[in-house]
Structure 1
Amino acid sequence: MEPRTGEDDGVVRVWYDEEGWGVVDCLSTPGGCWTHFSVIEADGFRSLTPGAQVRVRWESPGQDGYDYRAEWARAV
């Protein structure tokens, strides 16, 4: 099966600053999209805030038990 990709707006469900990752919920990524700090488009310390709206470019298969993984993310 070939990986699928897409882009969508979502909301940060949870973010772990100390571990550098979290989960973004989008309509196109049921179950959540695993997101690493290294894919966040931002200056300085890259982090997301739970409840914040973000834009993500995602791919599947995902990572660490999630069906989707972010390739790129930024706050909107």
Structure 2
Amino acid sequence: MTRSGTAQGTVIRWDDARNGAIVEAYDLPGGCWVPAAVVHGEGSAALRAGQIVEVEWLEEAGAEGLPFRATRVVPREDLQATLGG
């Protein structure tokens, strides 16, 4: 049975060559692959390192070598860090 869920995570890096990102979260040990097609929100599908996102995920071994794959990602602009606190 495939596990799924929702978690808040941090974008580790965006990969232009693969058109996707890697997100880490406490609930997603080993990382989560985020294809650009599942990114929702204003602007382009590209995410940036350090960005906080909400991830809907599936446990799916082999997704770009990571144990989890995102099915929907929404940037959480309300949780982004700013200079000076």
The answer, yes or no, to whether TM exceeds 0.5 is: yes
* Residue 56, structure 1, aligned to residue 49, structure 2: no
Please, what TM-score do these two structures have when normalized by structure 2? 0.81
- The 2-side partners of 1:19 and 1:43 are apart by 21
* Structure 2 residues not aligned, in runs of 5+: 77-85
The alignment partner of 1:41 has SS state of coil
Please, what TM-score do these two structures have when normalized by structure 1? 0.90
Give % identity. 29
Superposed displacement of residue 18, structure 1: 4.0
Superposed displacement of residue 49, structure 1: 0.5
User: In structure 2, what is the equivalent of residue 73 of structure 1?
Assistant: 73
* Residue 41, structure 1, aligned to residue 40, structure 2: yes
Q: Detail structure 1 runs of 4+ shifted over 4 Å in the superposition.
A: none
Superposed displacement of residue 44, structure 1: 4.5
Structure richer in strand, relative to its length: 2
Give the RMSD, CA atoms, in angstroms.
1.3
* Residue 22, structure 1, aligned to residue 11, structure 2: no
* The structure with more radius of gyration: 2
